Structure formats: structure tokens, C-alpha cells
Amino acid sequence: MSNFNKLLLFVIAFSVFYFMAFEAKAHWQYYISGLVLIWVATRKNLNLNVVAGILLLVSFFEALSDSFITAHLIKKVPILYSNGAVYTVAIFFSVLSVFLLKYRWEIMLRFAPFFAKDQQAYINKTGPCVADAPLITVYLILIVSTILTFIEHLLMNAHEFGASKEFVQFFRSHIFFYYSFDYVNIIGRSIMVAILVGAQIIYQHNLKNQLRNKAA
């Protein structure tokens, strides 16, 4: 990889991080755009390309679900249900992502006959990716954070279930995850972009060393 391409990848990562951090309302657009660029940039790195494709596909449908909730539920139904839908969707897609990343290798091998003309070459290139474990770790953190946010949300709206005002007020003055939900997810997705970029740089560095050793 040339220095220009390395720089380009870092620019993508930090640009996505910047816009996601300071343009929270439009972070889906920036995140998905960054994933598209990374997916294109890793087209010669089969395993990382599939990982980026998984994140891109799942994120696209999660963004659509969020848009649907915003358009049809927010301000139209009680906040207990609208926010509950947001957290449920976030947990579902995070769990789906963990499943797809954990079993990516097996899925790729199973579907090899449908996507690969040279199946043996495809199988030889298929294997674990340095980005798998870090991405799964980030997703697990996001799942735990979202579950805790959901619990806080239910406690803040416990009056809907007949709880006393004192009970509800106590929890409304002792919450943390509820108000940090958006920022935790934005930071998490920014870290995912950085992981993908770093994994591609490592791949290119190892590839260059392999070619140098063969030449020697």
C-alpha cells in the first residue's frame, strides 16, 4: 500500500469520527458512507471485505429501522414505547452483528459455491480476521450499554406501571446510560471504523513482508 493510500484510509477514519462526534443527528449517513469507502478499499482483502460488508448491510437496515421509528413512532406514541422500540432495534442488530461476525468464516465456506468461481482459491483465502475479535468486543459493550439504558428508561417511566412519583423521581435523578446512549453508540461506531482501517493497514503490511521474503 502506498503512503497516499494509507493517508487516505486514515483520513476516512478520522473524518467519520469527527462528523459522527459533532454531527450526531446525521451520524448514520457518515458512518454508512465510511463503511462504503472501506468496503471498496478492501476489495482485495477477502476476509476484511466481508467483515466491512456485514457491518455495512446490518447498519443500513438498522438506519432504516431508526428512520421508521422516528417518522412513525416518535411524538406519536408515549415515550415509553417509542424509545423502547429504539433500544430493542439497537439490541437486535447488535446481537445479529455479533452472530454474523462470530460465524463469518463458517458462513463464507458454506456459501462458497454460490459466490466463488474458483472455490479452492476462495477457501484458501477464507479465515479469521484480525478485526473479528475487537469488533465483537465493541458490539458486546454496546449491547450491555443499551440494555442498561433500556432498564433506566423503564425505571424513569415506571409511573406507567403504577409506581409512585417518589420512586420515579429517585431514578430520574440517578441515571447515567440514558443520557449518554447516543454518544456511546457514536463513539462505538467510530472505534469500529478505526478497527477496520487498522486491520487493512496490518493486512497490507503483512502482505508486503510476505512478498519481500519471497523475493529474498
**pLDDT at residue 119 tops 70:** no
CA separation for the pair 161, 154 (Å, rounded): 9
Q: Predicted confidence band at 168 (pLDDT cuts at 50, 70, 90)?
A: low
Residue that wins the pLDDT comparison between 67 and 142: 142
Q: How many domains does the chain have?
A: 1
Of 146, 207, 182, nearest in space to 27 by CA = 182
Of 32, 69, 56, 21, nearest in space to 182 by CA = 21
Residue span of the structural domain in which 71 resides:
3-215
pLDDT for 172 equals 67
CA–centroid distance for 154 within its chain? 25
Question: Do residues 172 and 157 make contact, with C-beta atoms less than 8 angstroms apart?
Answer: no
Q: Please, is 94 exposed, middle or buried when counting C-beta atoms within 10 Å of its C-beta (0-12, 13-18, 19+)?
A: buried
Of 4, 34, 13, 55, nearest in space to 198 by CA = 13
Summarised one tens digit per residue, pLDDT across range 7-47 is 566 656 666 665 556 556 677 888 888 899 999 988 888 88
DSSP 181: H
CA separation for the pair 130, 200 (Å, rounded): 9
Please state, in angstroms and as integers, the Cα–Cα distance from residue 77 to each residue in 21, 84, 170, 173, following that order: 29, 11, 25, 24
Question: Do residues 146 and 91 make contact, with C-beta atoms less than 8 angstroms apart?
Answer: yes
Residue located via cell numbers 478497527: 195
Q: What is the pLDDT averaged over residues 170-194?
A: 81
Residue that wins the pLDDT comparison between 189 and 73: 189
Find the radius of gyration of the CA atoms of the chain.
21
pLDDT for 52 equals 94
CA separation for the pair 142, 206 (Å, rounded): 31
Q: What is the pTM of this model?
A: 0.83
